[in-house]
């Protein structure tokens, strides 16, 4: 006889402690052997997730508690990966909403909670990080209740269970005055407040595909919940495609989840979350069903992408020197392979065989894809991110973002001024002990390139969060970059002498010894015009010794250009050249460069 089941999702704003709390649940459920070395954020298995400290991909795990199997889905908190959240909420019956005791609800809290409430889920609210010095748990609970009401939650949803936790210390408690011991109160709340999955094992089979994975041995693996019926390894089944076409296939392998591992199952009934191989053409939202009585489930609707970039073959003078995969065919195959698991991504052919239009949820969504491809050995170039416009009721509309800034008081005026120039509209301002929280509604294109300005304005002390709000009418033209760029005059190696002599022209992105080519962007000009400079010029050698020859001369520290900074910085006539070893900025057409 199979175990009773509970299916839950862990949802929260980025960095509010989802993955750390799941760590504590896993450790206290007994799935790790005694003395086993378990890393922090064990669910963040991807290298980029560990480096950035964020969850990028939703992941499944399962633990047993009091003879009940609890399937847990850890979801991303960043709105750019909202597609991951939307598709997995359909296979759970409840969710745990985690809120930081200091920050309270943030932009992504609103986003993930809205999706959960739309699905009819009744969240368990966990106020996390109550052991922090500035924690204000009661205030966080009040703000969460206000958010529930604002998002239109019904009476049952507003009557949510509240727990207080420290994921890092590994405890949850029902009241602040209690002593925190372990995670048992959260396990008990899941058993008591999350309903068992609905479904009938006697009805024809229905499994909805919510996640795609890939194995070199098994091929495409589909993960989803069995809504009705029983699924057996080796049985014949049918896949109902999005267009209604029915494709028959055999279940080659059936797997369930136990801790971090997948375990083979002979069969699984309604309510179970399983992984299945045997359907090479399955896509998100499609239904695996009984071949004799095929019945489709409603398709999963995922919000459309809001940002688009052009990926193209690298055609710079340094093309092919650092990458292993450089041709249009290799780049296209890699992008098509990404579509198999990245549900919120779109890829279309560009206006030539060497260009591809790639659409995603935001700069971080696309930036993670670019960084992943770069690490795999791909070399290519990408254009400036462009927002995707839509026509709604005959009017041109653009995506707007909900933006929250937490800044020192001294930076408030500069932030309001700069966002005003970018068509931002301030909705709220609250002072909180020397820091101020600002809330804005702003066009998505107004945020492109703002992060660098924000860091400078706040001297690195500001916190910035934003999430997609809605499409609104076009807000007019706006200027997001006010300074021109400095480009290299010729191919060669940058010298200390040339960079030192040009220090008064602006800020450089390169150091002496950097290889450059004509049209490569090497710095930011301190005036609005672009400037072409000979950064390879060497000092004329003579047999006369200069009077100041013994003085120690130093260059200003260059501005470091990361991939995210590069994507935000470039203009419409510029490109980012991405290779496994380098990130370079360049002009699209070097013939239009200004003469010095």
Mean pLDDT of 140-164: 89
Is the entire prediction scored with pTM above 0.75?
no
Q: Which residues fall in the annotated binding site?
A: 15-20, 128-131
CB 361 within 8 A of CB 80: yes
pLDDT at 596 over 90: no
pLDDT at 475 over 80: yes
**CA-to-CA distance for 127 and 130, rounded, in angstroms?**
7
| Cross-strand bridge partners of residue 304 | none
pLDDT at 33 over 50: no
**Structure tokens given for 400:** 């707007």
* pLDDT in the model for residue 25: 79
CB 471 within 8 A of CB 397: yes
Q: How far is CA 383 from CA 329, 332, 559, 567, 588, in A?
A: 19, 16, 21, 8, 9
Three-state secondary structure readout of 501-535: HCHHHEEECCCCCCEECCCEEEEEECCCCCEEECC
List pLDDT tens digits, range 531-573: 999 989 887 776 665 555 545 667 788 888 888 888 888 888 8
List pLDDT tens digits, range 428-469: 888 876 788 888 999 988 888 787 788 888 888 887 877 778
Which of 51-65, 202-216, 349-363, 372-386 is predicted most confidently? 372-386
Q: Name the band, by pLDDT with cuts 50, 70 and 90, for residue 55.
A: very low
Residues, the chain, total?
596
**Structure tokens given for 429:** 């301002």
Q: In 3D, which of 330, 215, 332 has the Cα closest to residue 276?
A: 215
Say what percent of the chain tops pLDDT 70: 87
- Which of 4-18, 72-86, 116-130, 232-246 is predicted least confidently? 72-86
Q: Name the band, by pLDDT with cuts 50, 70 and 90, for residue 303.
A: low
**CA-to-CA distance for 289 and 231, rounded, in angstroms?**
9
Residues with Cβ within 8 Å of residue 337, at least 6 apart in sequence? 214
Element (H, E) at 86: helix 82-88
CB 434 within 8 A of CB 408: yes
Q: Which residues fall in the annotated binding site for GTP?
A: 15-20, 128-131
Structural domains in the chain, sorted by start: 5-193 (3.40.50.300), 206-289 (2.40.30.10), 307-387 (3.30.70.870), 390-473 (3.30.70.240), 485-592 (2.40.50.250)
Residues with Cβ within 8 Å of residue 6, at least 6 apart in sequence? 68, 69, 70, 71, 93, 94, 190, 191, 194, 196, 197
How does strand 506-508 pair with strand 435-443?
Answer: unpaired
Q: How far is CA 334 from CA 343, 380, 529, 578, in A?
A: 15, 12, 38, 15
In whole numbers, what is the pLDDT of the chain averaged over residues? 82
Q: In 3D, which of 44, 38, 42 has the Cα closest to residue 56?
A: 44
How many C-beta atoms surround the C-beta of residue 186 within 10 A? 24
pLDDT at 487 over 80: yes
- Residue 378 DSSP one-character state: B
């Amino acid at each position: 006889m199979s175990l009773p089941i509970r299916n839950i999702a862990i949802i929260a704003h980025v960095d509010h402690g989802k993955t750390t709390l799941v760590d504590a649940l896993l450790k206290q459920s007994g799935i790790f052997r005694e003395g086993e070395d378990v890393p922090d954020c064990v669910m963040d298995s991807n290298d980029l997730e560990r480096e950035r400290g964020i969850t990028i991909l939703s992941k499944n795990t399962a633990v047993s508690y009091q003879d009940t199997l609890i399937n847990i889905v850890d979801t991303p908190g960043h709105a750019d990966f909202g597609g991951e959240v939307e598709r997995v909420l359909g296979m759970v019956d409840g969710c745990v909403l985690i809120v930081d005791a200091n920050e309270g609800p943030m932009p992504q809290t609103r986003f993930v909670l809205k999706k959960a409430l739309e699905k009819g889920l009744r969240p368990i609210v966990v106020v996390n990080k109550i052991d922090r010095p500035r924690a204000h748990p009661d205030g966080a609970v009040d703000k969460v209740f206000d958010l529930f009401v604002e998002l239109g939650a019904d009476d049952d949803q507003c009557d949510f269970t509240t727990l207080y936790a420290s994921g890092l210390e590994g405890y949850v408690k029902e009241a602040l005055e209690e002593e925190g011991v372990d995670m048992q109160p959260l396990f008990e709340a899941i058993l008591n407040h999350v309903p068992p999955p609905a479904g009938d094992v006697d009805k024809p089979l229905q499994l909805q595909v919510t996640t795609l994975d890939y194995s070199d041995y098994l091929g495409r693996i589909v993960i989803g919940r069995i809504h009705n019926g029983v699924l057996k390894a080796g049985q014949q089944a049918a896949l109902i495609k999005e267009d209604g076409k029915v494709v028959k296939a055999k279940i080659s392998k059936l797997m369930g989840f136990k801790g971090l591992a997948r375990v083979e199952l002979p069969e699984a009934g309604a309510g179970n979350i399983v992984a299945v191989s045997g359907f090479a053409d399955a896509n998100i939202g499609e239904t695996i069903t009984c071949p004799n009585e095929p019945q489709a489930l409603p398709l999963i609707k995922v919000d459309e992408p809001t940002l688009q970039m052009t990926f193209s073959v690298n055609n710079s003078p340094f093309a092919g020197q650092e990458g292993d995969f450089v041709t249009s065919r290799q780049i296209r195959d890699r992008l098509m392979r990404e579509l198999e698991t990245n549900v919120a991504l779109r890829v279309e052919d560009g206006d030539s065989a060497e260009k591809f239009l790639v659409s995603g949820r935001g700069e971080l969504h696309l930036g993670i894809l670019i960084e992943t491809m770069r690490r795999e050995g791909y070399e290519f170039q990408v254009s400036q991110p462009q927002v995707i416009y839509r026509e709604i009721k005959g009017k041109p509309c653009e995506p707007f973002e909900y933006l929250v800034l937490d800044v020192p008081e001294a930076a408030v005026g500069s932030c309001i001024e700069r966002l005003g120039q970018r068509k931002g509209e301030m909705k709220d301002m609250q002072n909180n002990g020397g820091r101020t929280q600002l809330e804005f509604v702003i066009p998505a294109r107004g945020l492109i390139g703002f992060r660098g300005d924000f860091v400078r304005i706040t001297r690195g002390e500001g916190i910035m969060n934003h999430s997609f709000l809605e499409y609104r009418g076009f807000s007019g033209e706006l200027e997001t970059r006010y300074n021109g760029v400095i480009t290299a005059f010729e191919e060669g190696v940058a010298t200390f002498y040339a960079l030192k002599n040009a220090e008064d022209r602006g800020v450089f992105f390169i150091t002496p010894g950097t290889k450059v080519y004509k049209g490569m962007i090497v710095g930011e000009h301190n005036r609005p015009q672009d400037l072409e400079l000979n950064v390879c010029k060497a000092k004329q050698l003579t047999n006369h010794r200069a009077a100041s020859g013994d003085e120690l001369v130093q260059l200003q520290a260059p501005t470091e250009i990361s991939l995210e900074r590069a994507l935000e910085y470039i203009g419409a006539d510029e490109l980012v050249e991405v290779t496994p070893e380098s990130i370079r900025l360049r002009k699209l057409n070097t013939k239009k460069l200004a003469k010095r």
